[in-house]
Chain A
């Protein structure tokens, strides 16, 4: 129990007394609720210190850092192929997507470009990891709002995608498949037909979830108009990905500034936005993106060119001196690597820009005045992965 002398709290109480919603004659003492680091709604070890008045949140402060693994320092003593294994673990649900911007930045420094076939497969796997990531979000969000079954359906159908990723790369979660100048291997036999089938199942899953969860009235009453992030706030907090698009900003790195090495321009697809900026908007945009990703994969599968999957690169990779920043539209939002190389086997410094860190920075703004159950809706819909926050 905190003292009421806290300045912020009094200010908030006074502000609410002004709009006649709170009667100050009936003074209540605030309560500090410490959510986490061990709390089911925080996907791991995010800690949120919330000041409550009754069940209303007066202020909420996310405290990250309980899972800091020091990647930016670790990569300074590892060669580029070794780093590739490491960065897989940043956003662990869409691991292949973490490799791609790093490899692209290294390729940019070295001045090599992957052969077309490798670019195609890279894009397909990138989108598959997006589906694996976001389909789990859709189920998990249901779980957080109390609909248990949606979570299990998501786990069941994500398996189709993970099987395809495993068949191609050998790893379900951490493929470590992308290489500077191409890919480790070519696709196995029959993979393309299997992938088509997996994508069909994923599209059916999206329809099912649309029926079961997103169309549900209770779900809508829990998410519509909750946690509204207006356009200018979203931009000023540096949100990215679906969180930004749900606030009505039509911005997608895949379309707007796709780095060389990915072939999104070869498929016909659409960037979805939602005008409301509430929890429902964020969920809906993600649902549409999963569908869109499945369609991108299906189109690209039909047009994979033949040829090698690896360009000519030296056995021992030394990246020439220079600096490069490459950013891609990852499942969680914009993710980039800023590599400074001094021409060694190891990079001099790597700065990782991950989406979740920025995405949760808006929590204090958006959680103010919400109820505790709404706080769960908001946190869930912002969708962060702890590894992506703390790195």
Chain B
């Protein structure tokens, strides 16, 4: 079967159609999986609750039931809202997420578009979601939304920079901007000549990993950086006026983005889809690659959501000073050390 997949070379329009289909299936599915596993079950267990029990076996279909409920709701745009922008904003946020999936490699060939500058592309399109959030906040004609939108804009811009700088260390070490290239570099690398497990960059770039996860947490507006959607302060911020389907899109985008960022983190720091003892050119990766990547994504997501359920939230100004005074200098120092070692070793 793996050989069949390897020999599969369809014409351009067929492969494009397949890619579109895969993305449009994968994005909601991953969002559902993360929502179900972490938001419902793991969160419940951490908080000594049972979580959903009734819908489906062990409550696994609860999120589908909720999704259907959202679809039934009326689509309301508040009086005084800028209707066109209000309605487009969730789509802009979702689009940013979809664009992220384009570059995520599930194996050497199972990738929608294997870009030479994958890292650069990912970091660039991830910041597009700010636009949607700001549109939502501004167009809702609601003071809480406005504050939430502005907070989100300030926060997401402040955390772009640490994220870029954190990834730079990896790029320097791998010597490539291609996500697949980074996976190859890790799988074929060695630790002082010992090459049994390759060289996953979490061992050398642990500072970068920490900063990347902190920045991801802020990008996803999750605690401890969830001021843009703080329920107890500004009542879910920019989402407050959204109902039904459009709220569902925000929800999907949030969890799909969490998934894809966890995926990027595993590609950059944990070796991506590769397994240490298997050669990266092996055809087995058509099947094995997605599985391995998925497992790593779940581990990283667990960390992300563990933090989310545990910490209180920062205040907006504390968050900014955390980004500018701690994360960015730390990331710069990391880059300097990485570059020096790269030249020396």
Contact = CB atoms under 8 A, between A and B. Distances in A.
Interface residues of B, number: 28
Contact of B232 (A31, A146, A149, A219): A146
B46 to A, nearest CB: 6
A218 B224 contact: yes
A145 B235 contact: no
A146 B223 CA distance: 7
Interface string B142-165: 011001000000000000000000
B309 interface: yes
A372 B233 contact: yes
A371 B318 CA distance: 12
A148 B230 CA distance: 11
Contact of A152 (B47, B144, B311, B317): B47
Contact of B314 (A39, A142, A218): A218
A41 B312 contact: no
B14 to A, nearest CB: 47
Contacts of B230: 146, 373
Interface string A207-225: 0000011001011011000
Nearest to B315: A373
Interface in B312-326: 312-318
A218 B217 CA distance: 15
11 contacts: A41-B233, A55-B147, A148-B43, A148-B309, A213-B312, A218-B314, A221-B314, A222-B318, A371-B317, A373-B230, A373-B315
**Which bracket fits the contact residues of A?**
20 to 34
Nearest to A156: B48
Closest 3 CB pairs of A and B: A146-B313, A152-B47, A147-B312
Given A33-B143, A147-B223, A149-B310, A40 B232 contact: yes
Given A153-B47, A376-B232, A145 B313 contact: yes
Nearest to A143: B232
Contacts of B317: 371
Interface of B: 43, 46-49, 143-144, 147, 223-224, 226-227, 230-235, 309-318
Given A149-B46, A149-B47, A31 B312 contact: no
A149 B233 CA distance: 17
Interface string A125-149: 0000000000000000011111111
Contacts of B235: 39-40
A11 B46 CA distance: 49
Interface in A351-391: 371-374, 376
Contact of B234 (A31, A216, A372): A372
B312 A146 contact: yes
A152 B48 contact: yes
A35 to B, nearest CB: 9
Nearest to B49: A152
Contacts of A371: 315-317
With most chain A CB atoms within 10 A of its CB, the pick from B46, B310, B311 is B311
Residue from A55, A221, A371, A374 having most chain B Cβ neighbours under 10 A: A55
Interface in A2-43: 31, 33, 39-41
Contact of A149 (B144, B224, B309, B313): B309
A374 B309 contact: no
A218 B312 contact: yes
Contacts of B312: 142, 145-147, 213, 216, 218-219, 222
Contacts of B310: 147, 149, 212
A147 B310 CA distance: 6
A146 B309 CA distance: 9
Contacts of B49: 152
Contacts of A39: 235
A146 B147 CA distance: 17
Contacts of B309: 148-149
Contacts of B143: 31, 33
B311 A218 contact: yes
A222 B231 contact: no
A378 to B, nearest CB: 12
B21 to A, nearest CB: 37
Contact of A221 (B231, B233, B316, B318): B318
A55 B146 CA distance: 11
Contacts of A40: 231-232, 235
Contacts of A144: 232
A373 B47 contact: no
Given A145-B232, A149-B46, A373-B233, 4 more contacts: A148-B43, A152-B48, A218-B313, A372-B233
B318 A148 contact: no
Given A55-B147, A149-B309, A152-B47, A222 B315 contact: yes
Most chain A beta carbons < 10 A, residue from B47, B309, B312: B312
Nearest to A226: B315
Among the interface residues A31, A146, A371, which one has the most CB atoms of the partner chain B within 10 A? Answer: A146
A376 B233 CA distance: 6
Contacts of A147: 223, 310-313
A373 B309 CA distance: 19
A205 B49 CA distance: 16
A1 B126 CA distance: 34
A55 B313 contact: no
A373 B318 CA distance: 11
Contacts of A145: 232, 312-313
A261 B143 CA distance: 52
A33 B232 CA distance: 14
B80 to A, nearest CB: 12
A371 B316 CA distance: 9
B311 A373 contact: no
Contacts of B233: 41, 372-373, 376
A376 B312 CA distance: 13
B144 to A, nearest CB: 8
Contact of B315 (A31, A142, A153, A374): A374
A190 to B, nearest CB: 26
Given A218-B224, A372-B147, A148 B47 contact: yes
Scoring B224, B232, B235, B313 by chain A CB atoms within 10 A of each residue's CB, the highest score goes to B232
Contacts of B234: 372
Contacts of B231: 40
Contacts of A41: 232-233
A321 B119 CA distance: 85
